[in-house]
Chains A and B, each alone.
Chain A
Amino acid sequence: KAGVTQTPRYLIKTRGQQVTLSCSPISGHRSVSWYQQTPGQGLQFLFEYFSETQRNKGNFPGRFSGRQFSNSRSEMNVSTLELGDSALYLCASSALGGLNQPQHFGDGTRLSIL
Chain B
Amino acid sequence: ELKVEQNPLFLSMQEGKNYTIYCNYSTTSDRLYWYRQDPGKSLESLFVLLSNGAVKQEGRLMASLDTKARLSTLHITAAVHDLSATYFCAVDSGSRLTFGEGTQLTVNP
Q: Which residues of B sit under 8 angstroms from A35, Cβ to Cβ?
A: 97, 99
Q: Which residues of A sit under 8 angstroms from B92, Cβ to Cβ?
A: 98
Interface residues on A, range: 20 to 34
Q: Is the CB of A98 within 8 A of B101?
A: no
CB of B12 within 8 Å of the partner chain: no
CB of B96 within 8 Å of the partner chain: yes
Q: Which residues of B sit under 8 angstroms from A104, Cβ to Cβ?
A: 45
Q: Is the CB of A107 within 8 A of B99?
A: no
Contact mask for chain B residues 26-44; partner A; CB cutoff 8 A; 1 contact, 0 none: 0000010101000001111
Q: Is the CB of A56 within 8 A of B99?
A: no
Q: Is the CB of B102 within 8 A of A42?
A: yes
Interface residues on B, range: 20 to 34
Q: Is the CB of A45 within 8 A of B97?
A: yes
Q: Do A56 and B94 form a contact, CB below 8 Å, given A42-B99, A42-B101, A100-B48?
A: yes
Q: Which residues of B sit under 8 angstroms from A100, Cβ to Cβ?
A: 31, 48, 50
CB of A90 within 8 Å of the partner chain: yes
Q: Which A residues between 8 and 65 are near B, CB-CB below 8 angstroms?
A: 31, 33, 35, 42-45, 48, 50, 55-56, 58
Q: Which residues of A sit under 8 angstroms from B96, Cβ to Cβ?
A: 33, 45, 48, 56, 58, 98
Q: Which residues of B sit under 8 angstroms from A108, Cβ to Cβ?
A: 42
Q: Smallest distance from the beta carbon of B99 to chain A beta carbons, Å?
A: 4
In the complex, which residue of chain B has the Cβ closest to the Cβ of A46?
B96
In the complex, which residue of chain B has the Cβ closest to the Cβ of A101?
B48
Q: Is the CB of B48 within 8 A of A55?
A: no
CB of B88 within 8 Å of the partner chain: yes
CB of A97 within 8 Å of the partner chain: yes
Q: Which residues of A sit under 8 angstroms from B88, Cβ to Cβ?
A: 43
Q: Which B residues between 88 and 108 are near A, CB-CB below 8 angstroms?
A: 88, 90, 92, 94-102
Given A102-B48, A103-B45, 14 more pairs with CB closer than 8 A? A35-B99, A42-B100, A42-B102, A45-B98, A48-B95, A48-B96, A55-B95, A56-B94, A92-B43, A98-B95, A105-B43, A106-B42, A107-B41, A107-B42
